[in-house]
A and B are shown apart, each in its own frame.
Chain A
Amino acid sequence: MDTGTIIVGLTIFVLACFAGAELISKVPQTLHTPLMSGSNAISGIAILGALLATGVPESVNAQSGLGFLAVIFATINVVGGYMVTDRMLQMFKKKKRKKKE
């Protein structure tokens, strides 16, 4: 990997770190759990690497075998994470309260 690529990667990394901290600072306490499970699902993005490792030409070897396991774990993370987040968010409702004065 040449130095230029490394610098570009590090630039992206640092900027995305700031974006992440900035975005989350606006999330209210009420939504901390969905936020956590939602961002947890996002970290299942490792699935991209897992897919590339599994889809190699030779059908079964150490690489594709480990990739296969990685796809399973990442899919559990992605599917499970998004589904529980959605389930929780369905519950956050604002009820119309009749207030007795």
Chain B
Amino acid sequence: MSTVNIIDFVYLISAVLFMLGIKNLSSPATAKLGNKMSMTGMAVAIVATLASPDMFGFTMIVIAIAIGAAIGGYAAVKVEMTAMPEMVALFNGCGGAASALVAMAEFHGQTGHFAGFSLVTLLLSIIIGALTFTGSVIAYTKLQGIISTRPITYPFQQVVNAAIVILTIFLAWTVYHNPGNLFAFYLIILLSLGLGILAVIPIGGADMPVIVSLLNSYSGLAVSMTGFALNNNALIIVGSLVGASGLFLTKIMCDAMNRSLANVLFGAFGAVDDSVADAGEGPAGSMKGFEVEDVAIALENADSLIIVPGYGMAAAQAQHVTRELGDYLSEEGVDVRYAIHSVAGRMPGHMNVLLAEADVSYDQLYAMEDINDDFGTTDVVLVIGANDVVNPAAKTNPGSPIYGMPILEVDKAQTVVVLKRSMNVGFAGIENELFFKDNTMMLFGDAKASVQNLLTAVKE
């Protein structure tokens, strides 16, 4: 058995470790072990590669690893749990950049070596990797609030994007026939970087869970393409694992909003539509703002409470005080549960992570399909900074942009308490008739301050 055979065999072992790692992520009890297995798989693959007969110098590698580990490690330790969506987006962008850079390095190293299939996959790796990089950076800046989370649109947006795609394909075809055409090669990189930016700017903040998981899928696909170009099985296997799993998660997110992927990508959902805003009349009834004391009495008298968190809880960092309130009421004998919509927040599972950080036991967290039937028999529902995921218009109003989206049916509860920043409409710019219902108590203000006040009030 040659060294190369041994290395390929080690890659197989590491691929198995990655699969076992993902498999173990299917339960909170085994998830930590799963992550360790996956880490081991990575370490084994790296060591095997360093032992390869193709390796000559190690100085640059050691320096690069030290720099990367310092940056990645520092960011991972420092990041706030509420900022996790943008952190994941940024790490993902690094993965995309790495794939594109590897493909570029190999193209420079052995230009003549790549032809036919391997050249096609090399170019795909550069295109997908580059657009994953800039797309992730834009997602990061949107999630951080550096640029507006509203969709940025301009006339002929789709036409411009389509033109860039066609031009990129044409240039790739040129390079395919003449790999020496460096001008076309660099133009492809530039256009791909631009495409990543232009494709993500029209996507609104509420659609970020879909985009973050789609970009995750892209980075896997880019790795896979690099694997084809370099004829490296480890990269092909692992890249397609990540690519397929990311795509599956994207589908789960789209289903949770009852929208197609095309609609999310090109629909510019949440763009401010003035014509509607001006002509629109609010739903019948009026919003009733309540005092903290009134709401506290409702909570104290309840036998059962379901807390529904949304992005507002994350934005206000209210997860810890929410847990305190939940625990206090729980000790007072109230049956407290949390209901979490799949697309609440800015990335898949965002609310679960925040509540886990606040030390809420994961068996208190319920997914929509497991708790929706219970709202009818619940005394009080406490909605903290969620809006569209509890909007009954999704069920009742065929004209609503979110019609058909599966929602948490909180309006069936006896009393609904909604903590909300202001009277303004939610992210998608849609009126929420829940706020106007007779059994709804509105409590305006910052989510963290409101929950804190409620906690103080119920303790008295």
Contacts and interface: CB of A to CB of B under 8 A. Distances in A.
A56 B56 contact: yes
Interface in A71-101: 71-95, 97, 100
A78 to B, nearest CB: 6
A42 B16 CA distance: 12
A95 B359 contact: yes
Interface in A49-73: 49-57, 59-73
A24 B22 contact: yes
A31 B63 CA distance: 34
Contacts of B232: 48-49
Given A38-B21, A63-B106, A86-B32, A73 B68 contact: yes
Contacts of B46: 47-48, 51
Contacts of B363: 94
Given A20-B244, A29-B349, A72-B68, A45 B108 contact: no
Contact of A46 (B19, B63, B95, B231): B95
Contact of A24 (B79, B235, B249): B249
B238 interface: yes
A31 B109 contact: no
Nearest to A83: B76
B73 A23 contact: no
Contacts of A49: 99, 102, 106, 226-227, 230, 232, 235
Given A43-B223, A71-B64, A82-B38, A28 B26 contact: yes
A54 B106 CA distance: 10
Contacts of B42: 41-42, 44-45, 47, 78, 82
A17 B365 CA distance: 31
B88 interface: yes
Nearest to A75: B68
A28 B367 contact: yes
Contact of A34 (B243, B246, B349): B349
**Binding site of B, secondary structure by majority: helix, strand, loop or mixed?**
helix
A20 B245 contact: yes
B300 to A, nearest CB: 15
B72 interface: yes
A5 B340 CA distance: 47
B55 A76 contact: no
A55 B68 contact: no
Contacts of A59: 57, 60
Contacts of A60: 60
Contact of A94 (B41, B228, B362): B362
Interface string B343-356: 00001111011001
A31 B117 contact: no
Contact of A18 (B21, B22, B79, B244): B244
A45 B362 contact: no
B84 interface: yes
A95 to B, nearest CB: 4
Contacts of A25: 248
Interface of A: 1, 5-6, 9, 12-14, 16-21, 23-57, 59-95, 97, 100
23 contacts: A12-B233, A17-B241, A17-B244, A30-B349, A31-B31, A31-B352, A32-B252, A38-B34, A42-B18, A49-B106, A51-B55, A53-B109, A59-B57, A60-B60, A61-B108, A66-B101, A71-B68, A72-B64, A73-B98, A74-B94, A75-B67, A76-B75, A94-B362
